[in-house]
Amino acid sequence: MRAGKRGANSTASEMPATTGLSLYHKLSALQQWVPSYAWQRLTRRSPRGRVHLVFALADHFEPAIVPHDGKARAPYQEQEARVESWCRDFPEVADAWRDNEGFPFVHSYFFPAEQYDEGLVGRLAQHCHEGWGEIEIHLHHGIPDPDTPENTRQSLLAFRDILALRHGCLSYRDGLGSPCYAFVHGNFALANSAGGRFCGVDEEMAILAETGCFADLSMPTAMFHPAQIAKINSIYECGLPLHIRAPHRRGVDLVKGRAPATLPILIQGPLGLKFQVPPQGGKWVKAENGAVTGYNPLSMSRLQIWKRANITVAGRPDWLFIKLYCHSMDPTQHDAVVGQALRDFLRELVQGASTRNEILHFVTAREMTNIILAACNGREGNPGDYRDYRFQRRRTDQQRPMVIPINTVVKA
């Protein structure tokens, strides 16, 4: 029996927040982060010698997505077919190309809490248990009206425990206690950072901490998105009180020799500008935000930009963290996420790694967090050895947390 409901009452999926923006609003958005980017280009230096590249792909996994219509929902039979097709096709593409430890390229599947369906999540969980990724938590809320802290907390707890106890997903800190999770905010409006749209809960970061979130992977957004913050290309902990609006806009960079005092940590993907001689009708400047799309598929030229972003734990310059994101259930993105574009990229990435003096590690969001925490604690050697360093997929105690049943959709 399916849990949860689908249809008109479900909250919207990734809705374009930049459609119809005036020139003034676009310039205001750029002013948020371009100065930081310019400063980083002047001051950051790429590491010399051999580097470890730690890749994680945050998949905003929405089987109900209807391209170009965030309020619509695909028929349930189509959602089932999409998930089944993905679980069949992705391993066939990814299996041939392995990282330094022999692991395939995997996804972290951030499933929307407000779209939970037992059958769909069950099939995806089976796919993950076979070694093709891990499920984490995604949430769209505050549409059309602002959400409340109470509903946000209830929604996260309910979905967290359903994933852990019904589907055997999520992880546990040191194998103990309640389930823990990584998080991606729908429409990127983390902690009400999009001017009150797509959220409504200023204290959302505090709620994430209370409910077991160890890392947020929402950032960056699109070039002109109102939720984009000035702090970019970083791994850090919030430098402001968690209960205020958008506390992640400031933060303390993680550094070797000092464990973060506050969770969740913020793991950002690359954000920058690419200047080019455009084809006829093209653009002189493109934003690089780590999105894997049909318009901008994975490529070796993009890899060089990700490396230049130089996202590391300070004092550990040879471990580079590359967090990308995609919407694999969007049928318009098929080739980029499971077609020839992905095959070509993985082949070039793996075959040329030694020539480029790179050691590759394909990880999930949880594993990336563990490697980051190991770096903070001064661990040396191969980062791939620390995939289960702190947050582990198995419990070592016998206490079982109470399950909060999901019997309604998340409040819009």
Q: Give the Cα-Cα-Cα angle 154, 155, 158 (nearest 5 degrees).
A: 80
Cβ neighbours for 165, distance < 8 A, ≥ 6 positions apart? 179, 400, 401, 403
Q: Which residues of 93-123 are buried (b: 16+ CB within 10 A; e: fewer)?
A: bbeebebbeebbbbbbbbbbbbbbbeebbeb
In tens, the pLDDT along 55-73 reads: 999 999 999 999 988 889 9
With a cut of 70, list the residues of the chain below it in pLDDT: 1-21, 23-25, 27, 277-283, 398-412
Say if residue 220 is preceded by a cis peptide, omega within 30 of 0. Answer: yes
Instruction: Sketch out the chain's domains with CATH numbers.
Output: 52-68+103-387 (3.20.20)
pLDDT of residue 4: 38
- CA 155 – CA 400 distance, rounded (Å): 19
- CA 389 – CA 368 distance, rounded (Å): 10
- CA 240 – CA 229 distance, rounded (Å): 14
In tens, the pLDDT along 243-285 reads: 999 999 999 999 999 999 999 999 999 999 887 766 655 667 7
pLDDT of residue 9: 34
pLDDT of residue 19: 53
pLDDT of residue 17: 54
The mean pLDDT value of the chain amounts to 90
